[in-house]
């Protein structure tokens, strides 16, 4: 039997791959890939069905005003005797779904602008990117505040105001990806097959931008929630008695010294959800990077 010596380059490459996998396990990033996005998906499902689980308790007086936490209610009650836990869950639902709606609108507008600019090129690319640059040069939260104030208080107007300032980031991302993809062989083959410019762009180019856009969107959700909460804190969200974390925090500031939980509970809920969204975005980014 003749022993065959292993190729040192192949063996070295295998060792480097094992070290890289061991390094990822040692840093603990592997579990983050899964538990943060998984926990966020589970929380989203719970928040979607929250009104069914809670019933009409959010609108009804269910106890004495300003009941201390753990004194019959886990998180106490507010000035109207409403259970703070039920209000928190419904406030998280509003903030989370509103942030997803803003991100969705921004992604759609940005994808259309970026795809048209990157695929068409020429003067259309120049015009669309200069408009995008102008939108990026203006402070987004200030524009959202002005638009929301002009349209009037209300959750729908607030969503439209924030979405109107959030699309340029995605337009830039999509445009950059499209420019990198338009000269790929499969796109050239589609052009030679005379499939049409619109069909080629949508079917053969646009799917290649999904990964970076999804990662960027997942990292933006926490920031969007904070902007929406800030506008709600200033009174530009849904009118009372709707449960919004920003408005609930603003209302609770009046009772900060005699019933601090009324303000602290929604603020802490917003902080926790924003941190979880950022962790999920980091995990999703690492997952995408590992599979590239």
- Which pLDDT score is estimated for 25? 44
Q: Which domains does the chain have, with CATH numbers?
A: 29-290 (1.10.3720.10)
- Which pLDDT score is estimated for 225? 87
Residue corresponding to tokens 């959010």: 58
**For residue 162, what are the β-bridge partners?**
none
- Which pLDDT score is estimated for 191? 66
Q: How far is residue 265's CA from residue 248's CA, in Å, rounded to a whole number?
A: 9
69-87: buried (b, 16+ CB within 10 Å) or exposed (e) per residue? Answer: beeebebbbbebebbbbbb
Rounded to 10°, the helix 210-233/84-120 angle is: 130
- Which pLDDT score is estimated for 55? 64
202-231: buried (b, 16+ CB within 10 Å) or exposed (e) per residue? Answer: eebbbebbebbbebbbbbbbbbbbbbbbbb
Name the phi and psi angles at 77, rounded to 5: -125, 165
- Which pLDDT score is estimated for 205? 82
Q: How far is residue 35's CA from residue 261's CA, in Å, rounded to a whole number?
A: 29
99: number of Cβ within 10 Å: 25
- Which pLDDT score is estimated for 288? 67
- Which pLDDT score is estimated for 11? 43
Residue corresponding to tokens 């192949």: 10
Q: How many residues are listed for the chain in this entry? A: 292
Q: Find out whether 245 and 266 touch, Cβ atoms under 8 Å.
A: yes
pLDDT tens by residue, the chain, 292 residues: 444 444 444 444 444 444 444 444 444 445 556 787 788 888 888 888 887 777 665 555 567 788 888 777 788 888 888 888 888 988 899 889 889 999 999 999 999 999 998 888 889 989 999 999 888 888 777 887 787 778 777 788 888 888 888 889 899 999 988 888 887 777 777 666 666 777 777 777 888 888 888 888 888 888 888 888 888 888 777 777 778 888 888 888 888 888 888 989 999 999 998 888 888 877 777 776 666 5
Name the phi and psi angles at 83, rounded to 5: -65, 125
Q: What is the DSSP string of the chain?
A: -PPPPPPHHHHHHHHHHHHHHHHHHHHTHHHHHHHHHHHHHHHHHHHHTHHHHHGGGGTS--S-TTPPTTSSSTT-B-TT--BHHHHHHHHHHHHHHHHHHHHHHHHHHHHHHHHHHHHH-HHHHHHHHHHHHHHHHS-HHHHHHHHHHHH-SSHHHHHHHHHHHHHHHHHHHHHHHHHHHTTSHHHHHHHHTT--HHHIIIIIIGGGGHHHHHHHHHHHHHHHHHHHHHHHHTT-SPPTTS--HHHHHHHHGGGTTT-THHHHHHHHHHHHHHHHHHHHHHHHHHHHHHT-
Can you give the pTM of this predicted structure?
0.78
């Amino acid at each position: 039997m003749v022993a065959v010596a292993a190729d040192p380059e192949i063996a070295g490459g295998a060792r480097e791959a094992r070290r890289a996998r061991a390094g990822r396990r040692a840093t603990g990033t592997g579990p983050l890939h899964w538990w943060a996005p998984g926990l966020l998906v589970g929380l989203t499902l719970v928040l979607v069905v929250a009104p069914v689980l809670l019933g009409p308790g959010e609108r009804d007086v269910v106890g004495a005003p300003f009941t201390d936490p753990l004194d019959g209610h886990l998180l106490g009650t507010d000035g109207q005797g409403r259970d703070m836990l039920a209000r928190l869950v419904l406030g998280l639902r509003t903030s989370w779904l509103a942030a997803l709606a803003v991100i969705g609108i921004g992604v759609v507008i940005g994808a259309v602008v970026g795809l048209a600019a990157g695929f068409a090129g020429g003067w259309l690319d120049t015009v669309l990117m200069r408009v995008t640059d102008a939108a990026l040069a203006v402070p987004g939260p200030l524009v959202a505040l002005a638009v929301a104030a002009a349209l009037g208080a209300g959750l729908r107007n607030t969503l439209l105001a924030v979405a109107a300032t959030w699309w340029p980031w995605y337009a830039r991302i999509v445009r950059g990806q499209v420019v990198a993809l338009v000269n790929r062989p499969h796109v050239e083959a589609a052009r030679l097959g005379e499939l049409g410019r619109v069909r080629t762009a949508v079917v053969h180019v646009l799917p290649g931008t999904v990964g970076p856009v999804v990662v960027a969107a997942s990292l933006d959700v926490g920031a969007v929630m904070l902007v929406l909460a800030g506008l709600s804190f200033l009174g530009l969200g849904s009118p009372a008695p709707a449960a919004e974390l920003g408005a609930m925090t603003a209302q609770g500031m009046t009772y900060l010294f005699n019933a601090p939980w009324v303000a602290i509970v929604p603020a802490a809920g917003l902080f926790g959800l924003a941190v979880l969204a950022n962790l999920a975005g980091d995990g999703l980014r690492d997952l995408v990077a590992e599979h590239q």
